[in-house]
Structure 1
Amino acid sequence: MLESCQSENDEVQQTLKTIDPSKIQENAIYLMETSGLPMLSPKQLCAVESAALHHPNRSVVMAVNNTFLQLPIVLKSWSEMYPNVMFINMDIVQWLNGTILLPWLSKNLLDKSPLDKPVMP
């Protein structure tokens, strides 16, 4: 799923592929980052790792609204430790198609959050 190259500042830039959500196993754990930022916060990465650790028999899909993702170099070892983790590009219209959220997206209601920053537990 990932093509990577190491940068000078110990980050790995991942080129993310878009995949059809129907190709992912039915009981997968989905985490979505929709801000379009090119990197994930430590809290977001912790959520991915925790899901992968506690659910080794389920795919953990971190879908981002960007075609590139910069990750700390230490995450290169994740592919060995957590083979169930996928970082993928998300086509938000495709993902929301057929849900109640698609009309919200077309009216820009998803972009008009009263919160100042992205929220992820």
Structure 2
Amino acid sequence: MIDTEGDCAEWTFPADPGAVRTARSAVRGQLRGWELDSLGDIAALLVSELVTNALRHATGPIGVRLVRPAGLEGVLLVEVSDPLPDPPRERVALPDDESGRGLQLVASSSRRWGTRPGDNGKTVWFELAVPG
């Protein structure tokens, strides 16, 4: 964890299945600290989906970052980074498929989402509206 006192909280998790649970807990805890409890469940669910995707497709550390941008009041930015440079592909899952719905869930549950390349991989991000 780098900073959890200001408007940014950041963690790095090992590429280990336990990272999903730990990331959910960290996100919920930080949102409680920022008095944004109402976003805890959806933020934790979407982070869980993106961390799971990173575990399936990338090796190496997984970063999770929460930002309350001063210039965008009412928006929580959530980022999940991994060392794989390839952007994720949104696909249509069939009714009997047991996977493939993570990005659909992120897209339908967030205000906006996207991906951007980085020096050491990529970042998938989404925004959630902060109740006012």
Report the TM-score range of the alignment, normalised by the length of the smaller protein.
Answer: under 0.3
Instruction: Tell me the TM-score normalized by structure 2.
Output: 0.26
Larger radius of gyration: 1
Instruction: Tell me the TM-score normalized by structure 1.
Output: 0.28
The structure with more helix, counted as a fraction of residues: 2
